[in-house]
Amino acid sequence: MTATGTGTADATGQSRAIMLMIGAMFFFTAMDATAKLISQEAGPMMALWARYAGQALLVLVLVAPRLKSVVRTNFPGLQLLRSAFLMCATTCFFFGISHIGLAQATAVMDLHPVLITLGAAFFLGETVGARRIVAIAASLVGALIVIRPGSDVFSIWSVLPLGAAVCYAGYSLVTRYVGRSEDAWTSLLYAALFGAVILTALIPFHWVPLTPRLAGLMLLLAGIGTIGQLLLIRAFTSGEAAMLAPFGYAGLVFATMFGIVIFGDWPDTWTWIGAGIIVGAGLYVWHREHRARRAAA
């Protein structure tokens, strides 16, 4: 194949990976909007259980032919820790969006890329320069603008997406560590089963009798969450994580759209300003990391 042909193939593969990533963000945000609807009708625990039960079923079906090999792990303790981090992140976010706007919660949740960069310096020994520290500080300022502690719009529920971002950063850091020598499907399986088992044990105490609408919403949540997970896996199979990272912010656009159309939640000016700072800081951190990788290569 000629160099031109190779470049065309690479460009096509990257475009496909980008479209898969944007699709994953769309379905994940649709899942969050569905979780908010379920939470308003039956509480966040019902939404959480539907999310994890659906994901566990999906993963078990996909890995069934090689379950014995996938279930083996070299890091049982760390797998437990990362699964707990992920469930805490999902729990904080679902409880948060049951009381505040979807776009507001998503903006604060979008702190996690810069928190991962900060955590990598402390726990994985990765280098963080002065410019990245400034970007991290800026993103935290953006989060404070969105949350606005001390103002009339502040509530304790506004802090939950921040807790979700911290927990998700912890989950990502542990995943990065174990991922050096662990099958990605092993990590996916343990995260799904951990949440499903814990929430199945708890759901009888929070069960709400199913109506046709509620049952439909729970099935919808499990279905679109499953599609989002599959698209995300395919995206990272088709393209590099560093290249795809900025397109994760498409979720904020979709969250704003769903919030306006479904719930009538129009983000105010301060939320837009804070969200812009967070996204800008995240994109800057990505840009610096991308340049560092290219220089190393």
- What does pTM read for this prediction? 0.84
pLDDT at 144: 82
Residue 163 pLDDT class (50, 70, 90 cuts): very high
Query: Hey, what are 270's tokens?
Result: 């301060």
3-class secondary structure, 224:
helix
Residue 88 pLDDT class (50, 70, 90 cuts): very high
Q: What is the mean pLDDT of residues 114-132?
A: 73
Look at residue 41 and tell me whether its pLDDT is greater than 50.
Answer: yes
Look at residue 93 and tell me whether its pLDDT is greater than 90.
Answer: yes
Look at residue 1 and tell me whether its pLDDT is greater than 50.
Answer: no
Q: What is the mean pLDDT of residues 241-249?
A: 73
What's the pLDDT tens digit per position in 179-234? 777 887 888 889 899 999 999 999 999 999 999 999 999 999 988 988 888 888 78
pLDDT at 2: 45
Only one residue has tokens 């502690």, namely: 149
Look at residue 6 and tell me whether its pLDDT is greater than 70.
Answer: no
Nearest alpha carbon to residue 190 among 25, 21, 77, 45: 77
- Give the whole-angstrom CA distance, residue 51 versus residue 59: 12
Residue 251 Cα distances to 19, 64, 206, 273, 275, angstroms:
13, 31, 29, 17, 12
Q: What is the mean pLDDT of residues 261-276?
A: 88
